[in-house]
Amino acid sequence: MKTPAVPQDICLHIPPKMWQEFRLSMMKYQQYDEEAIGFLFCKRHQVSKNKIRYIPKAWIVPLPECYELQSASGLVLKQQFHSYLIENYLEEGLHVIHIHTHVSHTMLDFSLVDDCHESEYSRFLTSKFAKKPRLISGVCDESLRQTHFRIWDRKGKSYQKIRFYQSWFEIPKLEKSNDQIIADPRSINQQDLSSQTNSMFIRQQIFGDACQKQLGELKVGLIGCGGIGSIFVELLGRLGVKNWVLIDPDRLEMSNLNRIPGATKKMSDQRWHKVDYVKYLIKKIYETGSCVKAMPVSIDDEVAQQEIACTDLIVVATDNHLSRKITQELALKYMRPLVCLGTHIEVNQSDNRPRMFCRITVPPLGGGWCLMCGNMINLQRAALESAPVEINQIVEKAGYIEGINDPAVFWLNSICASTAVSVIHGLVSGFLNLDNGIDWIFDFPNWHKTNVGFLETPDCYFCGFKKPDLLFQH
């Protein structure tokens, strides 16, 4: 295969919490005036023809006992440790990220010795493993605040600098645009914000131009364009988000008109797909400059999943457990931030009053807990929802599945959607820290916040991360 003529846009995205844990381990095992090494192992995701992202699936920082030599002048790991890496990570076909520190009084860049070792290592990976894993290398200062990353070719002859993100989104922080080492292709065409757009956001300038620009670049995938999804789009769209992927197989019905903004009887008579109606809402906000992909399919559609994997943020606002489960699995597989929204109204049997709930859940990026281990969705219900129609009719009659005629009101959906938008605004502009995830429940008229520390489930089948066992204290 020829080398592509177009330059590849390659990035490495490590979620904030994982990077923090990795950083602390590196600092812990790095004595005064010594360097340290750490490894991450990644999957590769071809986002588009020219864009590739590497997604970490495991990391390990060797203990001091794993070194043959550890000093400021050089680092050599024991053969046993290398064999351990090969057996546990490389044979699975994961790509390697090798990160090492330089002590602060040396200049922070790769040295000639680094070039030499890394070139050799990259040739070794190519020759030894059938899947020919790539080598990404990183050099950092002692506190791992400054970083340089590069990826080697398979022959170990040349390398390319790559972008590194330790945030929720792969959108560059624009405050220090002059310091950017590598220009992000997405930021290049952003200077031509029309004057219409600029004056549109004049009342929210308090959140900063950088935040506004990031919102303008964010690509959001929405699964479920009904009562919550449509309000969510109206709110996040007005805040400045223009790029959308919309997934929903359903069509508008008269019974939706009590709770979706701007929808008409005519639309329902003409049986509009919900995705087309939501696209229409976005086009009302942006006469030009928006990009909306409307897909009237369900999330188990393969093409829909590919589109969702390429977004910056996934939002699920469906009324069933199966689609939420599939969406959570996608978010984990491609390591995309996930926001899950839902409302529920029931009648309290004791006093016959309605009880009204909404819930906003954002599992931590990169694992820790998820919708499944956090019991936000019911796996049994998800299984029933995927069962053949006849079985569903039986269980539906027995009252096991929520029907489409569940009670729903505009104002409760609005509380849910607008709180979710505040969370996303907080994430982008930085006024909210979500590193450990959030799970907020509105039980009218009060909000409850789940203590997410209790949700941590290291051995979860879905979100459990491969933790290194430290076998090396022989």
Binding residues for Zn ion, rule: CB under 5 A, are 111, 114, 370, 373, 460, 462-463
Cβ at position 322, least distance to Zn ion in Å? 17
List the structure tokens of 343: 């409302």
Q: Which residue has the tokens 């990031």?
A: 214
List the structure tokens of 468: 């290194």
With H, G, I as helix, E, B as strand and everything else as coil, classify residue 213. helix
Using the 8-state DSSP alphabet, how is residue 252 labeled? -
Q: Which is nearer to Zn ion, 16 or 437 (CB)?
A: 437
Cβ at position 279, least distance to Zn ion in Å? 33
Q: Which residue has the tokens 């790769």?
A: 110
- Give the span between the Cα atoms of 328 and 338, in whole angstroms: 7
Cβ at position 137, least distance to Zn ion in Å? 9
Q: Which is nearer to Zn ion, 215 or 314 (CB)?
A: 314
Cβ at position 203, least distance to Zn ion in Å? 40
Q: Which residue has the tokens 């010594």?
A: 34
- Give the span between the Cα atoms of 226 and 232, in whole angstroms: 10
Q: Which is nearer to Zn ion, 111 or 393 (CB)?
A: 111
Cβ at position 141, least distance to Zn ion in Å? 11
Q: Which is nearer to Zn ion, 354 or 458 (CB)?
A: 458
Task: Locate the DSSP E strands across 126-224.
Answer: 135-140, 147-152, 159-161, 163-165, 219-223
Cβ at position 100, least distance to Zn ion in Å? 5
Q: How many Å from the N-terminal Cα to the C-terminal Cα in the chain?
A: 45
Q: Which is nearer to Zn ion, 260 or 370 (CB)?
A: 370
Q: Which is nearer to Zn ion, 23 or 117 (CB)?
A: 117
Cβ at position 134, least distance to Zn ion in Å? 19
Task: Establish whether the linkage from the previous residue to 62 is cis, with ω within 30° of 0.
Answer: no
CA separation, residue 385 to residues 45, 214, 329, 444 (Å): 30, 37, 16, 29
- Pair 45, 118: CB distance under 8 Å: no
Q: Which is nearer to Zn ion, 326 or 460 (CB)?
A: 460
With H, G, I as helix, E, B as strand and everything else as coil, classify residue 381. helix
